[in-house]
Structures are given as structure tokens and as C-alpha cells.
Amino acid sequence: MNDITAAILVIGDEILSGRTKDKNIGYIADCLTNVGVYLSEVRIVPDKEEKIIQALDSLRNEYKYVLTTGGIGPTHDDITADCVAKAFGVEISENKEAIDMLLERIPLEDLNESRRRMARIPHGATLIENSVSKAPGFNIGNVFVMAGVPSVMQAMLDVVITRMETGQKLLSCNIHTNIKEGDLAEILRDIQKETTSVIIGSYPYYNESGYGANVVCRGKNIDDIKSVATIIKEKLSNIGNVEIGEII
Amino acid sequence: MNDITAAILVIGDEILSGRTKDKNIGYIADCLTNVGVYLSEVRIVPDKEEKIIQALDSLRNEYKYVLTTGGIGPTHDDITADCVAKAFGVEISENKEAIDMLLERIPLEDLNESRRRMARIPHGATLIENSVSKAPGFNIGNVFVMAGVPSVMQAMLDVVITRMETGQKLLSCNIHTNIKEGDLAEILRDIQKETTSVIIGSYPYYNESGYGANVVCRGKNIDDIKSVATIIKEKLSNIGNVEIGEII
């Protein structure tokens, strides 16, 4: 449905061990959907050079864009920038412009070897400013390298979006029902067979007030969505309550 | 550090579009860490046969176990069971035992074609009971197929864990500091150089009371962790407050 594809590569032992719960994937997913970029795959890998490079090469060859999070801080386990340089076969060294950015926040006397690591940037990369903590991310080829701390990642993502080709937003209409998924599945399957421009999904819910399923219609054409939503409402109204939400 | 490896494969358009925020990865990560299984990679893919099979084959060949979530409900976009059967090159058909499980919750007259889909199981697989909604998951080879709804996934995971070879829990000690990451990075790097049995990680935090970094020591030997934590405290106490937490 969409030619502008992207993947996320989350880098960090702390996510895989469960110590840190990822908050970036869902945020980036919302953001990409809003600008018409189709998030097509996500991978989470540990802080291991071989794994990072392997995943990065696989994703950057398959999708239009790759956004990475994590591993660009000052400590010994922050190896993302070096891995990206290796994957692209370029040198990496201290970047003057990145040092200047760090100096906006860090006094010169505190700019020790570890902090200088955050200014090591692969050759040929363009910096991604970071309004929160100043240490920049960077992009090289079709890869955007961002921090893992959510507030910093979010500041970088605002910049990244301006550098991507964006598409037509995928519109979405939520149809709330109190119908069990097993009772609407056949009806939806038949409706889906008649349309390719609208993708119909169904998501069961269980909460204190009972259970049912939300039906979601997604597509680029608002009239097609309206038409499919109307058909769904017609067919389902015999078996339960059906409320068509706004198309957003 | 650990030979018992596992990967998670999350299947679902709704996670990639941002509509649903994944709650399973962090939960499974905690659970695996607690039983000494090393979560080594996570992938999230859409409801597309080719993508599911490709990721599944890649992960099941590389890791000891693969746990999948999502795509085993009654609707047309639930294609996980069929993809797993294809990946393993086996037939899939309605499973009598699975039908009996469904009948514990669903009256026979409501067992329509869609609900029966939930009882389609690849040949050679073993069912995974589901105490919440009865529709079972299954395991075949080294792959465990679970539901995506968190409460149901959690019920299945309790069963899955009993079928896995588990290991020695990776112990962890959190050392809380008010020291900026850039000020402790060099010290930690030097300490890490002297040990292979303890992995030292550093995680910056920013909150209302200020910022600093938590240092985490992970390993299997409690004495090694204690010893490294003591060295870290000694070296860092000159530059800030350092509190060693419990080893858990």
C-alpha cells in the first residue's frame, strides 16, 4: 500500500534483559504513520558488533529508511557509531561540529575522553541536532542514528522526519462493536475479499464492561474507507452495537 | 555468557502502525531473564506470509528457542499458524483436542467456521493450554506460538516456561549514582577491562530531582558481582554519591 518503507533497529542489552522497557518503538510507529511512511519491520539486538552490523545491513538493503535507537552515549558499551561506520565501510573520527554542539552544554574542562566519544561520527554523515542534551545523532546513506533516551530520541526524530521523503498519510477509521471476534470474522473476511484499497483489521478487547472487537479500516482514500465502514456497519448491526468513529 | 538463547517474533500490522503498543516484549524479557534464558533478538513483522516465514526461519535456525506472539485469532488477518506450518513444511488441519478446548468456553452452536480456525494446528505440534480464553497456542520444533492479547499471552507463557530448558539466572546489581555518565564512563571502561565474568552497563537518567547514571553489574557469580560492585563504589565515591543495591 505504500512505497515509502522504514525499519527500526533498537540497540541495547538493557531492552533484551527486560531492565528497560522500550518506549521508542510505539512513538516512532505513530510518527511514521502520521507522515505516510510505512513501518515495515523492527528488530532489537544486543550491544554486539556482529549482531548490530548484520541487522543494519539486512534492514538498510531491504527498506527505504532505517532508524536506529540506542548506543550513542559516552560509555564502553556504546558502540553504535563504530558499527555503522563499519557497515558502510567508512572511517570514523571526532567531528569538529559535533564537539561544538557538546560545548554548548558541557564546559571545556569537562570534555573528557568519554564525552568526546559522543562526537565520533562516521565520515560522510550529516549530524542530527539534539535540542535536549546537545550530543548529536547522525544520518548516513538511508540510516538515521538516534539516542535511546526517549526525550532525546523524540527531539532527534523531529529533525529526522524533515529529512525523509514522506507520503500520503494512511487514514484510519475505528468501528467500535460489542461483538465477539468469532462472530464477526466471517463477515469481515467476505467484505475484505471485495476491496484492495482498504485493509480491514480486527482487534478483540476485554475490559470491565465486557468484551468485543474493534474493527479498523485503513486506506488512503477517504471515500473508499467511508464506503467500506458503511458496509461493515450494515452487516454487523444485526448482531450487536456498532459505532463508526471519525476517520483520522 | 549464556548458552540458552531465545528470540521473540511479534506478528502484527497493528504494532507497526502504532495503533497497538506492544506490552509483551518487556514482559517476556523479564520472565526469560528470571529463568536464565538469554533473550538475544526481537523482531516485529507485519501480517504478511513471506515476512513471517522469512523471520521465523532466520530466528529458529539461529537461537535455541523462538517465541511468537500474535496472529492466532479467528479473523482473516490471523495467519500465523499457517505460516508456521509452511516454515516447517508440514500440513495443518483442525485438531480435535483444540476443538475440545474451545468447547470448554464456546457453546457448540457458536462454533462457526471462524472460531474453528483457532483449532487449526500444524501436524506434529503440541498444544499450549490457555487458561484465560481456552483457544490454545502450540509448539513445534523449537518454536512456541502464543496469542498477542497480553493476558492470554501471559497465561500461555507460564506453560511455555515449563517446556524450555532453563539456565542459571543472570544476577544483577544496580548501583545508583548522581554522577553524570560522561564522568564515570572512563572509570567503568577500565574496570570492565579487568573482568569477563561481570558485564557492566550504564544507564543515564533525567528526572525532576536531577540527573545521573545507574550502573548495572550482571553475571552468574554473586561473589564476582559483589567484588566488582565494591571496586566501582570505591572508584566513584570521590566524584559523587554511590549506593549499591541488592543483588537480585
Residues 12-51 on B with a CB inside 8 Å of A are: 13-22, 25-26, 29-33, 38-46, 51
Helix, strand, or coil (residue B42): strand
- pLDDT tens digit sequence for A135-162: 999 999 999 999 999 999 999 999 999 9
Query: How many alpha carbons lie under 13 Å from residue B89 in its C-beta half-sphere?
Result: 1
Does the pLDDT value for residue B1 go beyond 60?
no
Helix, strand, or coil (residue B199): strand
Total Cβ atoms within 10 A of residue A196: 10
Whether residues B39 and A18 touch (CB distance < 8 A) is answered with yes
**Angle, CA B37 vertex, CA A18 and CA A69 arms, to 5°:** 35
Does residue B10 contact residue B69 with C-beta atoms inside 8 Å? yes
**Which site among A28, A76, A207 would you substitute to test the B interface, given the most B Cβ atoms closer than 10 Å to its Cβ?**
A76
Q: CA-CA distance, A122 to B228, in Å (whole number)?
A: 34
Residues of B in contact with A181 (CB under 8 A): 73-75, 114
- Backbone phi and psi for residue A70, each to the nearest 5 degrees, phi listed first: 100, 155
Of A75, A113, A202, which has the smallest distance from its Cβ to B181's Cβ?
Answer: A75
Residues of A in contact with B199 (CB under 8 A): 13
Q: Give per-residue burial for B225-234: e unless 16+ CB within 10 Å, then b.
A: bbebbebbee
Q: CA-CA distance, A201 to B198, in Å (whole number)?
A: 46
Nearest CA in chain B to A76: B189
pLDDT at A3: 82
What cell was used for B109? 452452536
Residues of A in contact with B29 (CB under 8 A): 15-18
Q: CA-CA distance, B133 to B144, in Å (whole number)?
A: 18
Alpha helix (H) residue ranges in A127-205: 150-163, 181-193
pLDDT at A133: 86
State CA A161 to chain mean position distance. Answer: 11
Does residue B173 contact residue B223 with C-beta atoms inside 8 Å? no
Q: CA-CA distance, A201 to A213, in Å (whole number)?
A: 10
Under the banding of pLDDT at 50, 70 and 90, the label for residue A190 is very high
Does the pLDDT value for residue A207 go beyond 90?
no
Strands B5-11 and B38-45, sheet pairing? parallel
Does residue A16 contact residue B39 with C-beta atoms inside 8 Å? yes
- pLDDT tens digit sequence for B203-247: 888 777 778 999 999 998 999 999 999 999 999 999 999 999 999
Domain ranges across chain A: 5-163, 171-247
Whether residues B17 and A39 touch (CB distance < 8 A) is answered with yes
Q: Does B172 touch chain A (CB under 8 A)?
A: yes
Under the banding of pLDDT at 50, 70 and 90, the label for residue A2 is low
On average, the pLDDT of chain B sits at: 94
Residues of A in contact with B20 (CB under 8 A): 203
- pLDDT tens digit sequence for A26-71: 999 999 999 999 999 999 999 999 999 999 999 999 999 999 999 9
Tell me the one-letter amino acid at A145.
V
pLDDT at B2: 52
Total Cβ atoms within 10 A of residue B158: 13
Judged by average pLDDT, the poorest of B146-150, B188-192, B206-210 is B206-210
How far is residue A120 from each of residues A69, A73, A132, A159, measured CA to CA in Å?
A: 16, 11, 19, 20
Nearby residues of B88 by Cβ (< 8 Å), 6 or more positions away? B122, B124, B140, B141, B143
pLDDT at B188: 95
Alpha helix (H) residue ranges in B3-95: 13-16, 24-34, 49-62, 80-88
Does residue A57 contact residue B79 with C-beta atoms inside 8 Å? no
R_g (Cα) of chain B, nearest Å: 22
Count of residues in chain A:
248
**Which site among B10, B19, B152, B171 would you substitute to test the A interface, given the most A Cβ atoms closer than 10 Å to its Cβ?**
B19
Of A26, A73, A201, which has the smallest distance from its Cβ to B77's Cβ?
Answer: A201
CATH code, residues A171-247: 3.30.70.2860
- pLDDT tens digit sequence for A210-235: 789 999 999 989 999 999 999 999 99
**Which site among A1, A62, A78, A203 would you substitute to test the B interface, given the most B Cβ atoms closer than 10 Å to its Cβ?**
A203
ipTM (interface pTM): 0.90
> Looking at residues B31-59, what average pLDDT do you find?
96
Does residue B138 contact residue B126 with C-beta atoms inside 8 Å? yes
Of A41, A51, A202, which has the smallest distance from its Cβ to B75's Cβ?
Answer: A202
Residues of A in contact with B155 (CB under 8 A): none
Nearest CA in chain A to B36: A17
Looking at CATH, the fold of the domain delimited by A5-163 is given as Molybdenum Cofactor Biosythetic Enzyme; Chain A (3.40.980)
